[in-house]
Amino acid sequence: MKKVGAVYAADGRCTFRVWDPLKESMVLKLVSPVEQQLEMQREAHGYFSLELANIDPGTRYFFMPNGEKAFPDPASSFQPEGVHGPSEVVDTGAYLWQDSTWRGLPFQDLVLYELHVGTFTPEGTFEAIIPLLPDLVETGINALELMPVAQFPGDRNWGYDGVYPYAVQDSYGGPLGLKTLVDACHALGIAVFLDVVFNHLGPEGNYLGNFGPFFTNKYKTPWGDALNFDGDWSDGVREYFAGNALFWFEEYHVDGLRLDAIHMVYDNGAVHFWEYTHQQVKLLGQKLGRPLYLTAESDLNSPKVVKDPEMGGYGFDAQWLDDFHHALYVLLDKKGKDRYKDFGKLEQLAKAYKDGFVHSGEYVTFRKRKHGVSSAGVSGEKFVAFNLNHDQVGNRVKGERLSVLVNLDRQKLAAAALLLAPYVPLLFMGEEYGDTAPFYYFISHSDKDLVKAVQQGRKEEFADFGFDIAPPDPVAEQTFQDSKLQWDKRTKGKHHLLLQWHQHLLHLRKQEPILRNFNKNDVLVNLLGNAGLVLHRQSIGGQEHLLCLFNFSEEKTAFNFPVWVENWEKILDSTETQWQEKKGKAVPLPSKVTAGSQMQLPALSVAVYKGQEEIE
């Protein structure tokens, strides 16, 4: 149960609680249905509380530190009038959950699907997503990952400008809408992850600093002063954010959280904040009887992110693997080298498959220093790999997806390279059918000076990357509308073909036990000259083998089948007629080959052959 904010009881009683250790007093200001001001009682460790009877759900209120200016509740569950308006009391027990039999899914079985609620459907709401869930299930997707839904200013935002970590965005449908979506997902066997931000708050409506020492100038972040996780009075800050993680799991039944930029959380205490949060979440998981997952976006290239705290780690279940994206993308798009100057070699993709981190202590030009340590031996389910995500698309000046940057053959290669990898895959909304709508950066701040600062900042950011055109205006309504998916395309032409290709790959991933073996000792990678590589995956025990053959070049290349398996059988071939946009020109690879045979792998193609060693 939430320890701060307005905690409503079914008998009409409500406890209001707020942390502000440096204030002498705190006043609760009720603004509806009847306006009144009530002195709150001081508790230990900097908290103030007040329990009231005859409080109805929907009651709106502010807190007044030292009885002075009124601010919304830092732990508000709902901000129906936006970031500057009053907070609203929510009856958390009013929703009748239907997922009592839901026990979650094993992390290694997940196929994650990142989406932005506002642009995924024309309506831009939680409930509008529900009718599309069966299509995702049919594709083979079993986990939604929602970009941040914590209350942000206005009704258009990526979500990383949130300022009320406990409140569900009003324009998306608020608390009821999110619960309805999670319930519908669980009914269809879909897990739900939320992207949450514990490294900063947005600029507009950020009143957290008015309630005690939430921030410190001891550390600096790209967003200003860091959150205070290790200084004076930091216990309350740690409880506030760790409690927020528990809140999403317990109150909204979510299955996992993706923590944004964890390297921007600074803590030099004996128990790092991430370790503390890990401990709290694992205890809650035991209580609830289902797995609760924490995944991380990290710029550290360090295995300590996913190591258990007992081994000196943070305890995350997995972390995003940016190096895989960079290594693969530069091989698919000739212009990719301009964006990722430290990538472009087949050996780097091979290392991404075998080890994980590509940069593991080498000098990196982009960083002007050595970066990272080796992740060799770290099991594959500890990494989330992807070809696209909100950053990789949205931080391009034109917001281009891979479908706009490369042709269909290269898109098929990208999908296979990801879904045959020994990692947990993540798709970005629309990727499965090659949606061509851009995904721009957009905001709807009301502060005119802030809007100008964001507009100028985006221009300068892209100028630094060498782009000679200006990005679309992030505050313009059209920028947001242009970013909405074109869902109807998934049934048409090459988009439908690409969707079927993803379905086939995901079905293969589900049916082939080898593709669910994440032990890196059972993963080998060999180069095919300068043309491609062979991703060799084998079963536990090593008797069954899959050879995933990738040719990234525009010329055919030779491959000699190993001799230690007598017969090889084809189970995937991107050159078959069914996978061609123009029918009748395909020359499929042989369905069966014998040991030592040589085969010419066509340009820009992928094939998978399966073999089994004879048991003597």
Active site residues: 260, 297
> According to the annotation, is 322 in a ligand binding site?
yes
Alpha-carbon span 36 to 132, nearest angstrom: 45
C-beta separation of 326 from 358 below 8 A: yes
Contacts of 13 (CB under 8 A, 6+ apart): 51, 52, 53, 55
Q: Kind and range of the H or E element at 217? A: strand 215-221
Specify the 3-state DSSP secondary structure of 380. Answer: helix
> According to the annotation, is 339 in a ligand binding site?
no
> According to the annotation, is 326 in a ligand binding site?
yes
> According to the annotation, is 391 in a ligand binding site?
yes
> According to the annotation, is 84 in a ligand binding site?
no
Contacts of 270 (CB under 8 A, 6+ apart): none
> According to the annotation, is 126 in a ligand binding site?
no
> According to the annotation, is 323 in a ligand binding site?
yes
> According to the annotation, is 394 in a ligand binding site?
yes
Alpha-carbon span 88 to 67, nearest angstrom: 20
> According to the annotation, is 392 in a ligand binding site?
yes
> According to the annotation, is 490 in a ligand binding site?
no
> What share of residues in the chain are helix, strand, coil (percent, to 5)?
30, 25, 45
The torsion of the CA quartet 115, 116, 122, 125, rounded to 10 degrees, works out to 100
> According to the annotation, is 99 in a ligand binding site?
no
> According to the annotation, is 299 in a ligand binding site?
no
> According to the annotation, is 390 in a ligand binding site?
yes
> According to the annotation, is 262 in a ligand binding site?
yes
Alpha-carbon span 242 to 522, nearest angstrom: 37
Of 159, 160, 207, which is closest to residue 20 (Cα–Cα)? 207
Burial group, residue 238, by CB count within 10 angstroms (0-12, 13-18, 19+): buried
Contacts of 412 (CB under 8 A, 6+ apart): 498, 501, 574, 579, 606
> According to the annotation, is 253 in a ligand binding site?
no
C-beta separation of 165 from 241 below 8 A: yes
Following DSSP, what letter does each residue of 249-306 receive, concatenated? Answer: HHHH---EEEES-GGG----SSS-HHHHHHHHHHHHHHHHTS--EEEE--SS--GGGT
Alpha-carbon span 350 to 525, nearest angstrom: 6
Which sign, positive or negative, has the C-alpha torsion 550, 552, 554, 558?
negative
Query: Residues comprising the binding site?
Result: 258-263, 322-326, 390-395
Annotated binding site for substrate: 258-263, 322-326, 390-395
